[in-house]
Each structure stands twice: as C-alpha cells, then as structure tokens.
Amino acid sequence: MTSPERASPEDPHLGGLREAYARTELTLEELWLRYFALGGDADLVDVDACLAGLVPLAPDQHDMLAHAVNERLDELLQEHRVPYRRTIRTGRPTTGPLAALLELIGAAGSAPPERIPALVATAGRLLGTETVIHLIDHEQRCLVRLPTAGRARPTRQSLDSTMAGRAFRTQQILSSDREGRSRLWVPVVDGADRLGVLEVRLPSAADLYDPALRQHCQWLASLLGHVLVSMNPYGDELERFRRSRPLSPSSELIWQQLPPLTAGTDSFMLAGMLEPSYDVGGDAFDYTLSEHTVSLGIFDAMGHGMPAALMASAALAGYRSARRDGRRVFDQASAIDDVVSGYFPGTAFVTGVLTELDVDSGQLRYVNAGHPPPLLLRQGRVVKELGGGRRVPFGIEPAGMTVGEQILEPGDWLALYTDGITEARNSAGRWFGESRLMEFLTRAVAAGQSPPETVRRLTQAVLEHQGGLLQDDATVLLARWTRPAPADRAGA
C-alpha cells in the first residue's frame, strides 16, 4: 500500500468522510467490501484506523473509500455528498447536447431499426426541440417522412420544391418560419453519403438565430447518419419506407452489391447512380478510397434481368478480390476475365472501365474493356475522352492489353458512364448522346454543383429524355480530385 500522509485533526476531507460514514448505516465490514470492490487495497484494519482518525489513507485510497461511502449515500439520501481530494468528472448529463447524443447512441444498440424515429424524437426533446426524420427515396426524387407516434404512414415531399429538399440538395442547414412554426432543416449524412434531412421544430422564432443550437442539431444529425447506416442492415422497415414500389429480384441483387452512392476524403469526392433503380440488371460500379490511392470501376454485363445481374455481380466480386489482394489494374482485368469466362462460358461478356489514381501525383492509370471512354473535365469543360488502355470486353480472351495513363490536375473531374446514358432515346428517336452529356456536365461544373447533386440531376435528365422509362440500364460515376493543402496531410 502507498505510504499514508499524516493528516491534521482539522483535515476537512477526513472529517467529512467520518461524518458521512456515520450516515451510511453500514457496518465496517460492509463498507470495506464496497471499497475493496472498487479496487481499494487497504485492509480492514487500515480502514478502521482511518475512520477513527488515527492513520490517514493515501489520497487515491481515501477517494476510493469516499466513493464507496457516496454510493451508499446515493442509495439513501442524494444530497449528502463527500468532497474528494481531487476533481472528479461528473456522471452522465441529463440535459443538453451531450445528453441528447448519449440518449440516441445508448438506446440504438438494443433497438430495432424502425424505432430510430422515436429514439431521435427523445434525443431532440433533450435539446428542447421536436425532431422528425426525412429519408431520401431510392430514385432520389423525394424525401420520405418516417412515421412517428400519432402518424402511422410515411409521407413524401419533392426535392425540388420544398425547404427540406433544398437542404438536402445544398447540404446546408436552412431555417423557415411559416405559419408560426419555426424549423431548422438539417442535412443527414454518413461521411459524404446523403441520407436525408432532420426536421427540427423549435420553441420560438428566436431560436432560429441561435448558433449553438444549430451546432447541437448538426451533431445530432451527424450521429443519426451513422446510426441509420449501422442499423439498417438489421431490418427491412427503413428500407421499405424508401421504396415507392418493389425492386425486381435482379435490382435487389445489384443494390446489395453496391457501395454507398457518395463518398469522399479531403482530396477526393465521388458519386454514382443507377437507373432504372427499381429494375436495374447488368450495371454496377465500385470504388475504394485510401490515403494515397483511389480506385474506380464501372461494369455493364450483356443482357438484361437476373442473368445480367448475376454476371455483373461476379465481375464485381472478381474485381474486388484482385484489388483487395493488392493487384494493379492490369491484373485486376485478368481476374475479371477469369471469373466471367469461367462461370459464364460461351459468348457472355462484361464491358467496363477500371481506374487507379495516385492521389499524391495525380497519375491516373486505367483499362477500358469495350466500354464508352471516360470523360475528363478541366476548368469547367470537357477537355478530352480518355481513349487509351483499350481491350476487348471482360470474359473474351484478349489478344493484347495495355494500360492507359493520364496526369490529372487539381480540380479535374472524371465521368464514367454506361451506354444507357448516351443511348437513351426520346419519342422522336433522338439519342441523349455524348454531346448532350458533355454539355450537361459543363453546365453543372460551371454552376458549382457537387458530384452527388450532378449525378442526381443527370440521371433525372436522362429519364425525362426517354419519357421516364429506360430501355437499358443507365449508370454514371462522377469523381473530383483536389490536392489537399499540406496542413491537411501533416499526419500522412
């Protein structure tokens, strides 16, 4: 045991401990057992001597004994507390932002996914607000209000004509004060992936201009994003709310294989989308982000429906297996060849593009297997098609294969897409076409749109061009590279 300090008879800590122990109604043996359970190493005789005022305990042992006494006092009478020799952190808060976050994260671990709206409502009340969750639907056309107590069915509102939709599109906290109802609309994201909007109803209009409250609501929305993503795989209710109609089996398979639609780091942002989202078959994409390398892949399997979905999923699995094994784009392409030809013999094939970017230098290496060439945008306009690295589609024995190379500049965009984008036809038989695609991307970059918002608007434009019904899968994957400032990479 640590050698004790000599205490004076007037020591307020020792005197307070002795006085409080007298109120605990504990025998000496009972008190010592509580103290020992907390980690105390003084024996029963030392504790008895301390309480008698004969020999003080070392400060850390004194505090453990005091804590044992305080635990008993909490059971009997909360207001009687013993002062510690050192500052002790307070326990779990009951109000304020930390209490709200702890309420959500503590309850989420043992709740089914459909209870999230109620958990968030409880957390919101600890901030003095009322909260409602609006999730983005599969087609990214509207926000779905999740049911809460007193409202049994979800409701939908447009992204393009509502405050909630504007908050989602701009990723900014917006305020409204209509019909005497003061509200904040707070984007809900998981990293860079846009999930929805948190509607926060405020007690008064004055709260709209409280910067601290905005920050607290943003914290709650950020935690909500992580909770939604972590809990969603354990149930179907949240997923069901986001659907306006059932997914086809092939679409269900493909969507389960995809990574989040949006991702980003301090130097890279990307976003992708598939249409028709409820009946997609042979299209897929994938990516991986790391400190020094970014890899992108897009695939288009021949055919439609489940056969195409199975082939696209197999190609995706071959790509991931090789990439995660540390192989580069040349060997990744060979691995996909082996999967497609081995499990889908005959004339089956998959087109696609594999890219690998060195984040530090901007060097891009890529392979194009019978796919539309990626587009490079620089300073707000399309400057070239990446026409190198061409070979036959995956699954067909390549006569030869090369790897294309391109040096990117900070601020450059890459656009990978399947032929369903450019080959969408309107009622007059006109293609959406490469020229229209390039014009659309040029306008979007010039307007300062982010990759996820550009992807959303592009897929809607393609759908509208073909009257809302696509004859082929249409997929786009946009990426933007910016070299981070040296301070951002100080810990690299």
Checking if the pLDDT of 77 tops 70, the result is no
Mean pLDDT of 86-98: 77
Give this prediction's pTM: 0.78
Least confident segment among 61-75, 99-113, 288-302, 420-434: 61-75
CA distances from 418 to 257, 278, 336, 474 (A): 18, 17, 18, 6
- Alpha-carbon distance of 422 to 417, in angstroms, equals 9
Mean pLDDT of 255-273: 93
Q: In one letter, which amino acid is 3?
A: S
* CATH superfamily placement of domain 247-489: PPM-type phosphatase domain (3.60.40.10)
Whether the Cβ atoms of residue 39 and residue 61 lie closer than 8 Å to each other: no
Mean pLDDT of 363-375: 96
Mean pLDDT of 209-232: 93
The third-level CATH classification (topology) of the domain covering 96-238 is Beta-Lactamase (3.30.450)
As a whole-number percent, the residues of the chain with pLDDT over 70 amount to 93
- Identify the CA nearest to 478 among candidates 441, 443, 436: 441
What pLDDT shows up at residue 4? 43
Residues in the chain: 492
What pLDDT shows up at residue 218? 95
Place of tokens 């294989």: 257
- Alpha-carbon distance of 76 to 74, in angstroms, equals 5
- Delimit the domains of the chain by residue range: 12-76, 96-238, 247-489
